């Protein structure tokens, strides 16, 4: 078996691994490069392999950095199946349609500017039609713990990665000349002790583990501490009759925060108040969560089976239309969840413009904020920010809560890798310092050989 990393090798985004085994050629994930102009330019480059020559794609989960180039792959001639779980198909469908829609809007803006500057304008990576065309190739026949025969002597098992709804790590088993070898692709692994999706399953022993390293250099605060911090932020702000604005990623974080707010309400640790989920994408994705109770943690499964919703409780309002969203401007003493998660666009900008200058309001940051984003500026204590070209004073209290990560921390990664002692680890999906820290930890604490995956160079098993 030969594995070549063409993305998320020596970096975080654009996950894409080519597997060649027993004459079959497969991709594990085909994600978008994200974060900055240089990184994003790579999405337009032709694939360093022939998409027509692929037998299939195995998709670990529906985050854009794992599925975001699939429509492009199909445009360039890939005609094989995209094998994944039923929940991931639904999540990826919504995420990719949204991405195509945003690319189209961005294209229209650039086209207008290009007309004035006389510069050529690059078309979008793919259209909404391309996404619909690609969806026909999805085969949601992967079920947790049910091995699939991909080719003679080649089997794949999708197992719960506990990262987001439907997420899987994939064990690939190859039988060659009477010997059996196993390579395990971690995809993204979940954080221990989250409440919406279960903890990651522990893998079987393997010969090679291709493992993500996002937080290979640190441990998270516990989820319980973070829920306590959230309760404090809500109580302090509501006592002052201010609004709590929570910039939220539509996938997983929105559902996590809604569930925790529901739990705090049920335990009467926060008062009754209006809670707005002001994001059509997050609302749609919440519907997918409710349709797949089997992928959720036990408590939530039980709630859904007994007809109770973990996400829709007293006070919660799903605001889909622009008019409903605008009406929130007149509300005080509410919790407002809106995207984008890093405040780079979307409805949250309107809510920040209406609340940041108010001393009684607060902004609760619950996710990673990349350098250069408005969210990062708020975390770093900016006194003034610009929103829609207007200077806004930051008087609201800014809370940063770090324990809601959907990624395993260093301890979680080492725990997951435990059964693979005796095999090798190939480290992917991390920034340089995280990769190096995890490499040292895997070697010292597990006694395993650990290699940082070289971009574009094959690794043989």
For Zn ion (CB under 5 A), the number of binding residues is 2
User: For Zn ion, which is the closer residue by CB, 188 or 278?
Assistant: 188
409 near Zn ion, rule: CB under 5 A: no
Stretch that binds Zn ion, among 184-192, 253-261, 304-312, 336-344 (CB under 5 A): 184-192
Residue (57 or 336) nearer to Zn ion, CB = 57
Stretch near Zn ion under the rule CB under 5 A, chosen from 58-66, 247-255, 309-317, 323-331 = 58-66
Contact status: 292 vs Zn ion (CB under 5 A): no
Residue 188 in the binding site for Zn ion (CB under 5 A): yes
- What sign does the dihedral 8-13-15-16 (CA atoms) show? negative
- Smaller CB separation from Zn ion, 63 or 69: 63
Is the sign of the CA dihedral 98, 99, 104, 110 positive or negative? positive
Minimum CB distance to Zn ion smaller for 75 or for 218: 218
Burial string for 258-267 (b: 16+ CB within 10 Å, else e) reads bbbbbbbbee
Segment contacting Zn ion by CB under 5 A, of 188-196, 337-345, 419-427, 428-436: 188-196
Backbone angles phi, psi at 403, to 5 degrees: -90, 5
Q: Would strands 82-85 and 138-142 be described as parallel, antiparallel, or unpaired?
A: parallel
Among 17, 33, 63, 93, binds Zn ion (CB under 5 A): 63
Q: Quick check: 72 binds Zn ion (CB under 5 A)?
A: no
Nearer to Zn ion, 30 or 336 (CB): 30
253 scored as a contact of Zn ion (CB under 5 A)? no
Residue 265 backbone class (left: φ over 0; alpha: ψ -120 to 50; beta: rest): alpha
Stretch 142-181: interaction string toward Zn ion, x if CB under 5 A? ----------------------------------------
Q: How far is the CB of 11 from Zn ion (least distance, A)?
A: 14
Q: Identify which range of 60-68, 198-206, 256-264, 356-364 contacts Zn ion by CB under 5 A.
A: 60-68
Q: Which residues pair with 398 in a beta bridge?
A: 363
Is the CB of 63 or the CB of 410 nearer to Zn ion? 63
Question: Mask of contacts with Zn ion, 9-48, x by CB under 5 A?
Answer: ----------------------------------------
The region of 55-63, 174-182, 359-367, 446-454 touching Zn ion under the rule CB under 5 A is 55-63
Residue 302 main-chain phi, psi, to 5 deg: -60, -40
* Bridge partners for 170 per DSSP: 158, 185
Contact 425, 442 (CB under 8 A): yes
Q: How many CB atoms lie within 10 A of CB 436?
A: 16
The distance between the two most distant Cα atoms of the chain, rounded to a whole number of Å, is 71
Tell me the closest approach of the beta carbon of residue 63 to Zn ion, in angstroms.
3
Distance CA 66, CA 88 (A): 11
**Core vs surface per residue 296-323: b (16+ CB within 10 A) or e:** bbeebbebbeeeebbbbbebbebbeeee
Nearest to 343 by CA among 406, 395, 288, 398: 398
Region from 45-53, 56-64, 138-146, 175-183 binding Zn ion, contact rule CB under 5 A = 56-64
**Footprint of Zn ion on this chain (CB under 5 A)?**
63, 188
């Amino acid at each position: 078996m030969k594995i070549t990393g063409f993305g998320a090798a020596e970096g975080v985004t654009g996950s894409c691994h080519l597997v060649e085994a027993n004459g079959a050629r497969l991709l594990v994930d085909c994600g978008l490069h994200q974060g900055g102009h240089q990184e994003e330019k790579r999405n337009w480059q032709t694939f360093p392999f022939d998409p027509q020559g692929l037998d299939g794609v195995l998709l670990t989960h529906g985050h854009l950095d794992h599925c975001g180039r699939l429509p492009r792959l199909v445009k360039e001639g890939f005609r094989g199946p995209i094998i994944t779980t039923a929940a991931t198909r639904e999540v990826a469908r919504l995420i990719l349609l949204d991405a195509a829609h945003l690319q189209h809007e961005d294209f229209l803006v650039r086209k207008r500017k290009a007309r004035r500057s006389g510069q050529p304008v690059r078309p979008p990576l793919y259209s909404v039609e391309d996404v619909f065309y690609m969806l026909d190739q999805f085969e949601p026949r992967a079920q947790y713990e049910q091995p699939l025969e991909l080719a003679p002597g080649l089997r794949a098992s999708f197992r719960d990665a506990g990262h987001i709804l439907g997420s899987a790590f994939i064990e690939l088993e190859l039988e060659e000349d009477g010997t059996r070898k196993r390579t395990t692709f971690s995809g993204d692994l979940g954080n221990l002790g989250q409440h919406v999706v279960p903890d990651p399953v522990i893998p079987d022993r393997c010969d090679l583990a291709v493992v993500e390293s996002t937080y290979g250099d640190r441990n998270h605060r516990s989820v319980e501490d973070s829920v306590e911090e959230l309760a404090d932020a809500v109580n302090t702000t509501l006592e002052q009759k201010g609004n709590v604005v929570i910039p939220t990623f539509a996938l997983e974080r929105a559902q996590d925060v809604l569930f925790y707010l529901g739990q705090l309400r049920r335990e009467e640790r926060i008062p009754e108040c209006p809670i707005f989920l002001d994001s059509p994408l997050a609302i749609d994705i919440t519907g997918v969560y409710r349709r797949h109770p089997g992928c959720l943690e036990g408590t939530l499964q039980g709630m859904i089976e007994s007809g109770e919703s973990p996400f829709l409780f007293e006070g919660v309002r799903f605001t889909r239309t622009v008019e409903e969203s605008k009406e929130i401007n007149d509300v005080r003493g509410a919790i407002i969840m809106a995207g984008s998660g890093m405040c780079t666009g979307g409805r949250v900008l309107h809510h920040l413009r209406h609340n940041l200058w108010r001393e009684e309001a607060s902004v609760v940051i619950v996710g990673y904020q990349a350098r250069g984003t408005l969210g990062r500026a708020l975390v770093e204590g900016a006194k003034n920010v610009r929103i829609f070209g207007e200077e806004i004073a930051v008087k609201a209290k800014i809370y940063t809560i770090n324990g809601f990560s959907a990624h395993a921390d260093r301890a979680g990664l080492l725990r997951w890798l435990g059964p693979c002692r005796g095999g090798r680890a190939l480290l992917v999906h991390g920034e340089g310092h995280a990769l190096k820290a995890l490499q040292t930890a895997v070697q010292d604490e597990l006694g395993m050989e650990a290699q940082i995956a070289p971009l574009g160079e094959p690794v043989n098993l």
